[in-house]
Amino acid sequence: NCSIKTWIALLLLVLAFRCVAQQETQSKGCVCGYPGIPGDPGHNGMPGRDGRDGLRGDKGDRGDMGFPGNKGNIGYRGDRGARGEKGDRGEKGDEFVISKSAFSVGLTTQTKLPAANAPIRFDKIIYNEQNHYDPQTGRFTCSAAGAYFFTYHITVFSRNVKVALVKNGAKIIHTTDNYQGSEDQAAGGAVLNLGVGDKVWLQVVGGETFNGLFADEDDDTTFSGFLIFEA
């Protein structure tokens, strides 16, 4: 076949070129061999130096505030510290004084059936340590402003009784007893707000027919008062 002949001719031509090439190579003193096996990898090099710092960037926008965190547990109580040095003595303060005021007085056989429309002069002193009651005038004088309690107990005999508790000339309360025979009893009392210098007393009102305040060895007519608290 024509194609077979063509391939044979081409093969012969290639062999002819190869022989010519080998001859040229031999004439140059070069021996052609097979490629060698790959060599071992080289060692790693030394690490390089760090690069220079970059320029500082622009400040970013402020972020939103976060939610508050949970409250932590209470810590353990610390040890007690050392005792400090004693301080300087302070200045002496004002002395706290509790005011005292009280009296209790009564009639005697000499002062029973007192005059009307005037302070009754109780001359039997039961208690008058502060001397705020004056037996010469029959008046109590306030020395410490505050609330005071006044009371009186009357033995009624032979006449009617009508008395008034008086503060600075003003009648505060009245007590009346109509005598029925033998002996009667009458009493009265009130809390008054007094200022320093105020005066309080007991007096007969309504005339001599209402002054039956009686006293003897077995019967008493008394007048008392005391400070409850200062204003």
Model-wide pTM > 0.75? no
- Spatial neighbors of 227 by CB under 8 A, at least 6 apart, are 99, 100, 101, 102, 144, 146, 147, 148
What string of DSSP letters covers 168-187?
Answer: TTEEEEEEEE---SS-EEEE
Answer yes or no: are the C-beta atoms of 105 and 126 closer than 8 Å. Answer: yes
Q: Would you say residue 1 has pLDDT above 70?
A: no
* Residue 30: per-residue pLDDT: 46
Instruction: Indicate the average pLDDT of the chain.
Output: 87
* Residue 70: per-residue pLDDT: 83
The CATH class given to the 102-230 domain equals mainly beta
* Residue 167: per-residue pLDDT: 98
* Residue 4: per-residue pLDDT: 75
* Residue 125: per-residue pLDDT: 98
Give pLDDT tens digits for 17-64. Answer: 666 556 655 555 444 556 677 777 777 777 778 778 778 878 877 777
Higher local confidence (pLDDT), 189 or 81: 189
How many whole angstroms separate alpha carbon 12 and alpha carbon 99? 154
* Residue 22: per-residue pLDDT: 61
Q: In 3D, which of 137, 198, 136 has the Cα closest to residue 172? A: 198
Give pLDDT tens digits for 150-165. Answer: 999 999 999 999 999 9
Q: Would you say residue 218 has pLDDT above 80?
A: yes
